[in-house]
Chain A
């Protein structure tokens, strides 16, 4: 099951660059939340603060609090524990090229020391089915490298890999921006189904996509969150002038 995410006074820096400034928002459990905004406004940085990936960069720093359910991820847990509960899908599909399709999906469990073959088989099948990829790859599971399938399939493989460790939250940073329209729509259908089990945060440049999959949408601009509201409200009747300008294509 998903958990709600409450972000309070989140600030983030790269060196002296104050990339995120006082972000506050609440993302309800088992909803999809879309984040939109022009390039460089801090969407990726924000998402990376939600699984403590931000701090893997030596010049990066963050303050504030992020609650996932009852867990303060910066106080009560190690980065490794946080990342087991928060799956992440990146902009470019990044399957492990030296691993088979099966091993890619099993990697999260295996690399954490899990060895039971029968359970792994089950998890791999279930995750690939959840990622709508099972039928396309079931005959090549252990024969083909994760890097040998199409880009759209690779991205769904990455989703399956993230789901296999049974997270509560799924972060997706422009998951479809490198994909063709057919693959994109498959990913969108998938997000729609996954909401029942996970809380989803999706960064997107595509406003139709946000409108299709997300209950709530946040608009970022220059490191600040300008507006956060129900998606249909953001797109039909935004409160802030800057949101309206962005939505109607006047900048960005």
Chain B
């Protein structure tokens, strides 16, 4: 009797400490994960914020030797290239994910698509750049913003496919059956019910893919190439923030180094703003009590 009370107490003491140890571990890991992110952002602010001024957002780069100038053309160029990439990567990725989860269960083709997506995910970005260079730039005989968009768009596809598939698989079959039971054609049930129910997760996946390619430099080196002047024509070589940062960062001029830091800060801020904006717009339609 006494013994069992004692072991009971020992056990609960152990449980108490185990509980706390695990809480500490969890908090510790969270801090560890967040620390680099916060550190990078603070460092960027420290290095880059001082070079941010109106000219940075309105002017194009000045020739070597002249001080001042900005990255307006690169900011706009990145926007155009990323819009093209999203217009390619998101629809194809979502369509692929729908195929995998709704139609492709256990089929050979589906397994092939899954395998391809995983391999594509592992292809180094420089290889993607060279491939698009060979397939598009060489044929067109000139660098272009759209070829950069194609390279980044292809890189978005695997992430969008796999998150779409996974998110659709979490939609309860009861909801699918409810739609079919109303005499809704299968394709319509997928688009208006399954995709809509899974949309918060799918949007997160698209944003993840977007943020990942927004900072890519290597695929743009042989495609968009960069441009020191205004270039809003996607059929011409186009400036992009990562390219501009790259060129400035490896230059020997202090002035350009400062601009590179400012460019990096703007790039991160652009990603954060667009992700938050999409989340905000997406969350506005959510109803009271929707799960």
Q: Please list the residues of chain A having a beta carbon within 8 angstroms of any beta carbon in chain B.
A: 51, 53, 56, 58, 80-85, 87-88, 90, 92, 94-100, 107-108, 111-112, 140, 143-145, 147-149, 158, 161-162, 165
Contacts and interface: CB of A to CB of B under 8 A. Distances in A.
Given A90-B178, A94-B174, A147-B291, A81 B183 contact: yes
B188 interface: yes
A88 B181 contact: yes
A80 B183 contact: yes
Given A147-B290, A148-B289, A111 B192 contact: yes
B134 interface: no
Contacts of A58: 105
Interface of B: 105, 172, 174-175, 177-185, 188-189, 192-193, 196-197, 199, 286-291
A148 B287 CA distance: 9
B185 A80 contact: yes
A142 B211 CA distance: 35
A36 B84 CA distance: 59
B288 A94 contact: no
B177 A112 contact: no
B181 A53 contact: yes
B181 A162 contact: yes
4 smallest beta-carbon distances between A and B, as pairs: A148-B289, A84-B183, A145-B290, A108-B182
A56 B177 contact: yes
The listed residue with most B CB atoms (<10 A of its CB), out of A58, A82, A107, A140, is A107
A10 to B, nearest CB: 19
B132 to A, nearest CB: 37
A90 B174 contact: yes
B291 A97 contact: yes
A98 B174 CA distance: 14
A143 B286 CA distance: 10
Nearest to A82: B183
Given A108-B183, A111-B192, A145 B178 contact: no
Contact of A162 (B182, B188, B286, B287): B182
16 contacts: A56-B177, A88-B181, A94-B177, A97-B290, A98-B286, A98-B287, A100-B287, A108-B182, A108-B183, A111-B193, A112-B183, A144-B289, A145-B287, A147-B289, A147-B291, A161-B182
B214 to A, nearest CB: 29
A54 to B, nearest CB: 11
Contacts of B192: 111
B183 A143 contact: no
A140 B289 CA distance: 12
Nearest to A142: B287
A53 B182 CA distance: 11
Contacts of A111: 179, 182, 184, 188-189, 192-193
A111 B192 CA distance: 7
Given A108-B182, A162-B182, A97 B197 contact: yes
Contact of B288 (A51, A84, A98, A144): A144
A161 B183 CA distance: 12
A53 B183 CA distance: 10
Contact of B180 (A53, A81, A140, A162): A53
Given A96-B178, A158-B178, 8 more contacts: A58-B105, A84-B183, A90-B181, A97-B291, A144-B289, A147-B291, A148-B288, A162-B181
Contacts of B180: 53, 56, 83
Nearest to B198: A98
B175 A108 contact: no
Nearest to B200: A98
A251 B287 CA distance: 47
Given A94-B178, A158-B178, A144 B287 contact: yes
